[in-house]
Amino acid sequence: MRVGITGHSNLTTPSLPLVGRGIRAALPPEPGLTGVSCLAPGADQVFARIVLDLGGRLEVVLPAADYRERLRPPQRPEFDALLDAASSVRVLPFPRSERRAYAAASQEVIASVDRMVAVWDGRPADGAGGTADVVASARRHGVPVQVVWPSGAERG
């Protein structure tokens, strides 16, 4: 089973364990789980850590080669640890990490999975390529989406 993630990157710190429990419940208990993530802070990284904790494989799709440098320094250690644990890493051929690259990376994830988990509060996207857009695109492509938004979760 191949499962992708989309979700908010600006989750509050108290929301992270709530979202983590929701993601864990959404993942299939079967062996052979492969999680596909762009490793954005927030939902993507929580998902990636859970996939690895469950003994699954992690595949990473990075929007551009400069993606790590665009992260704030406190976000880099977890990103680096997850990237090191990944079984494969694809870097898209965009010169800079920007909306167009993020949208393309999300499309790569959608095209490579059986279903998606969306950590989404149900609100419209803040801009092109946001979580709401990824959910809509997955559904248009016939990829089932399970929305996770536990009671008490908040965006920062």
The CATH number covering residue 56 comes to: 3.40.50.450
The one-letter amino acid at 5: I
Phi–psi pair at 154, nearest 5 degrees: -145, 155
Measure the CA–CA gap between 141 and 49, rounded to whole angstroms: 27
Q: In this structure, is residue 154 part of a structural domain?
A: no
155 domain residue, yes or no? no
pLDDT at 56: 95
pLDDT at 30: 75
End-to-end Cα distance, the chain: 32
State the pLDDT at residue 128: 67
Residue 43 falls inside a structural domain:
yes
In a domain, 126, yes or no: yes
Q: How many domains does the chain have?
A: 1
Q: Is residue 87 part of a domain?
A: yes
Tell me what pLDDT residue 127 has. Answer: 67
Structural domain boundaries enclosing 59: 2-148
Is 132 a member of any domain? Answer: yes
With CA atoms as reference, report the closest residue to 68 among 39, 100, 37.
39
Closest CA to 19 of 117, 88, 124: 117
In degrees, to the nearest 5, what angle opens at C-alpha 6 toward C-alphas 125 and 69? 90
Regions of the chain short of the pLDDT cut 70: 127-128
